[in-house]
Amino acid sequence: MIRVFFEGVAWGLLVAISIGPAFFSIIQTGIDRGFKAAFYLALGILICDAFLISICYLGLTSIFQSPTNNIYIGFVGGIILIIYGTYTYLKKPDILRRRSPKYKTPPPPPSTHFKYIVKGFFLNIANPFIVLFWLTAVGYVTAQAEEGHLLKYVIVFFSGILMTIFGTDLLKSFIGNKIKKYLRPRVQFWINRIVGISLIIFGIVLMIRVIGDFWK
């Protein structure tokens, strides 16, 4: 089972190094809002991944496999990414206070923890192509599992994936939080703009792709 776990770790690294909306958002949140906010964003992404894995494993994937449903999901996901990207592009960092080297980002009050979890969840689920990854992963571990031990293989394999993804997301959060003191306010301002534009592009590309897949 150790081999199965490390195979999960390898799959998790594929997700961790992939450049997508979540990748940019975690680092940007760490820079702009601090480690704690980025942690809860990563937690929301983790919950979303666990939810999608459960759906794929239980076979409740017909909603994602229907071309008609996919175009609606893709459009909604694209709109979410575009709205979030526009907000990120337009928001301005607190430049004046952050010019002081002694400035420390205050931890978000408890009421905002849930907000970041929800944001992470919907940021992740807005990309329906992540479901294809989990479907592929479920198919892979199902093919590898010994007869009568499927559930054990699934638990070990996906534990490796989720631990790796969450661990690397925390690393991104930590890096984002640490590098902010080395960034000039103007640089932070442009990071927000670059991340915002990237999210908008992801949203537009997502909508174009689902339309293209629908008309094939």
The structural domain count of the chain equals 1
Closest Cα to residue 43, out of 165, 126, 129?
165
Asked if residue 180 is part of any domain, the answer here is yes
Asked if residue 59 is part of any domain, the answer here is yes
Asked if residue 209 is part of any domain, the answer here is no
Asked if residue 206 is part of any domain, the answer here is no
Termini Cα distance of the chain = 41
Asked if residue 12 is part of any domain, the answer here is yes
Give residue-wise pLDDT tens across range 55-101.
888 875 555 555 566 566 667 667 777 877 787 677 665 544 454 55
- Report d(CA 62, CA 60) in Å as an integer: 6
- Report d(CA 195, CA 28) in Å as an integer: 7
Q: Mean pLDDT lowest for which of 67-76, 171-180, 193-202?
A: 67-76
Q: Which amino acid is at 195?
A: V
Asked if residue 48 is part of any domain, the answer here is yes
Q: pTM above the 0.85 mark?
A: no
Asked if residue 208 is part of any domain, the answer here is no
Domain that holds residue 60: 2-71+94-186
Give residue-wise pLDDT tens across range 12-43.
887 787 767 777 788 888 887 888 889 999 99
Asked if residue 162 is part of any domain, the answer here is yes
Closest Cα to residue 133, out of 6, 8, 26, 1?
8
